[in-house]
Amino acid sequence: MPKVLFAPPALWEEYRPALLAAFDGMGVDLVQEAEPASVDYIIYAPSAPLQNFTPYTRCKAVLSLWAGVERIVGNPTLTQALCRMVDPALTEGMVEWVVGHVLRHHLGMDRHIVNPGRVWDPTCPPLARERPVAMLGMGELGRAAARALVALNFPVTGWSRTEKTVGGIPCLHGEDGLEAALRGAEIVVTLLPKTAGTENLLDARRLAMLPKGAVILNPGRGAVIDDDALLAALDAGHIGHATLDVFRIEPLPGDHPYWAHPRVTVTPHIAADTRPRSSAHVIAENIRRGEAGMPLLHLVDRARGY
């Protein structure tokens, strides 16, 4: 009977029933505490106090409840396989967040929602087909968000580390590809992991490539944006608005200039939550595969960092 250690205590009450339901009939022993050498799998989240994986000598895999793994991937004690969260409900949430915030800016909704002067301004927005979007990161979440925007007629250009084909969506890569994606975009969405290769990717030079008034949405990771450069570009009027869900320090400190900036919207890392019911099935499937000697799903590549 595989022993599964649930490592983040704060999430136990929320996840326990969903995991027990998903493990039904699998003969899994789900525990909150165990002798490390007896544990077969660890369910992990960044809030887990567990930092030293060395004593977990029998553990076949650490199963992350989070999609982003930057807080565990570089842990030198982690020699076990690491799987990240890829879950349809998480993806659905991200698609909704991205589409909602893209439409807010595309339609200029703020002008009508907050209109204390009762200004009758009948200016119509362009059609979505006239509003190019760049999707930086074409992984599980970027691809799904890009497809949803394409379904609304937004011309989306994807950009990622490697060359790829995503039906009907032009996909670029490399530095030239990034420049082309940025130069053509009125709205940029970043769905990139935090790695050495993405840190400060949107710096002053690259922000300057965007057309004046471009909007940035960042539900990926805060470190992808050079905050000082973004604030300067907002102050200069070059960037029209930034809607940010993720930050270098979370919760975003109360005195951070983003809170007070009139053209920044802060959302508190809620773009896409991992939902217990659906994610429990993802975890169960990986344990089932591990026990059957099959390859695990959603393995993290340590060298790439995601």
Residues forming the active site: 221, 269
Of 34-42, 110-118, 160-168, 252-260, the window that binds ligand NDP (rule: CB under 6 A) is 160-168
Q: What are phi and psi of 154, to 5 degrees?
A: -65, 135
Residue facing ligand OXD at closest CB distance: 68
68 binding ligand OXD? (CB under 6 A):
yes
Amino acid at 226: D
94 binding ligand OXD? (CB under 6 A):
no
Please report how many Cα atoms fall inside a 13 Å half-sphere around the Cα of residue 245, on the Cβ side.
Answer: 18
Could you tell me the sign of the dihedral formed by the alpha carbons of 253, 244, 299, 96, in that order?
positive
Three-class SS of residue 166? Answer: strand
12 binding ligand OXD? (CB under 6 A):
no
269 binding ligand NDP? (CB under 6 A):
yes
Q: How far is the CB of 164 from ligand NDP (least distance, A)?
A: 6
Q: Which of residues 167-196 bind ligand NDP (CB under 6 A)?
A: 191-195
Three-class SS of residue 3? Answer: strand
Q: How far is the CB of 38 from ligand NDP (least distance, A)?
A: 32
Q: How far is the CB of 145 from ligand NDP (least distance, A)?
A: 9
Q: Which of residues 192-251 bind ligand OXD (CB under 6 A)?
A: none
Residue from the set 34, 58, 66, 179 that interacts with ligand OXD by CB under 6 A: 66
Q: How many CB atoms lie within 10 A of CB 50?
A: 18
Q: How far is the CB of 39 from ligand NDP (least distance, A)?
A: 26
The two tokens of residue 246 are 């993720």
Q: How far is the CB of 177 from ligand NDP (least distance, A)?
A: 9
| Residue burial 2-32, b: 16+ Cβ < 10 Å; e: rest | bbbbbbbeebeeebeebbeebbeeeebebee
Residues in contact with ligand NDP, total (CB under 6 A)? 29
Describe the strand order of the beta sheet including 214-218 as a list of residue ranges: 171-173, 156-160, 133-136, 187-190, 214-218, 239-244, 264-266
* Among ligand OXD, ligand NDP, none, partner that 238 touches (CB below 5 to 8 angstroms by kind): none
Nearer to ligand NDP, 123 or 162 (CB): 162
Q: How far is the CB of 93 from ligand OXD (least distance, A)?
A: 9
The two tokens of residue 261 are 């900036």
Nearer to ligand OXD, 182 or 191 (CB): 191
Nearer to ligand OXD, 222 or 290 (CB): 222
| Beta strand segments in the chain, E | 3-6, 29-31, 41-44, 61-64, 81-83, 133-136, 156-160, 171-173, 187-190, 214-218, 239-244, 264-266
274 binding ligand OXD? (CB under 6 A):
yes
Which residues of this protein are in contact with ligand OXD, per CB under 6 A? 66-68, 85, 274
Which residues of this protein are in contact with ligand NDP, per CB under 6 A? 67-68, 90, 137-142, 160-162, 164, 191-195, 197-198, 219-221, 245-246, 269, 271-272, 306
